[in-house]
Amino acid sequence: MLEITSIEKGIVIDHITAGYGIQVFNYLNLDKADYNVALICNAYSQKMGKKDIIKINNVIDINYDFLGLIDPNATVNIIEEGKTIKKVKLEVPERVENIIRCKNPRCVTSVEHYFPHVFHLVDKEKRSYRCEYCDDIVIPYPVK
């Protein structure tokens, strides 16, 4: 297996559903990072078969709503002096603002642009969301 040096101080996002690692990576703008970052895809996992992992050798702000939206089963480990000092448990957010956009062409969000795009959780299992304005239902990150 590919060896990735463990980090001293930073964040490890583990158990990301295989395939969603790149989306988390992009959302966190890690392609522009000037610190050490690793995206590991399809790593072996006893529980999941395959998983993605992201290691960030820096302390950055993370929008946990977004992570919960994209993959509530991922785990976030905060690392200091090479040790995990905190594990963050993610939850499927009840309400998300400006993360997903409404794709309904008849929705008012398609013509007016000065207000937040708001979605409300409809079904936790399916991870489906309803547009605040037009009620259109989307599943932005389907369970794989």
Partner 1 sequence: MLKNRSLIDPNDFTREEFREIFDLGHQIIADPAKYSKSCEGKILATLFYEPSTRTRLSFETAMLRLGGQVIGFSEAASSSTAKGESIADTLRTVECYADIAAMRHPKEGAPRLASHYIHMPLINAGDGGHQHPTQTLTDILTIERLRGSVENKTYGFCGDLKFGRTVHSLVKFLSNYEGVRFIFISPEELRVPEYIREEVVRKKGIPFQEVDQMEPYMGELDFLYMTRVQRERFFNEEDYIRLKDRFILDKAKMAYARPDTYILHPLPRVNEISTEVDDDPRAQYFQQAKNGMYVRMALILKLLGIY
Q: Which of residues 79-138 bind Zn ion (CB under 5 A)?
A: 102, 104, 107, 131, 133-134, 136
Q: x/- string (CB under 8 A) for partner 1, residues 64-103?
A: ----------------------------------------
Q: Is 134 an interacting residue with respect to partner 1 (CB under 8 A)? A: yes
Count residues binding partner 1 (CB under 8 A): 19
Cα dist. 10→5, 21, 60 in Å? 13, 17, 8
Identify what 1 binds: partner 1, Zn ion, none; CB under 5 to 8 Å per kind.
Answer: none
Question: Tokens for 10?
Answer: 């930073």
CB-nearer residue toward partner 1: 85 or 108: 108
Q: How many CA atoms lie within 13 A of 69 on its CB side?
A: 25
What's the one-letter identity of residue 140? P
Q: Which of residues 111-130 bind partner 1 (CB under 8 A)?
A: 111-112, 114-115, 122, 130
Q: Is 36 an interacting residue with respect to Zn ion (CB under 5 A)? A: no
Question: Tokens for 134?
Answer: 């037009």
Contact 54, 39 (CB under 8 A): yes
Question: Tokens for 57?
Answer: 């050798």
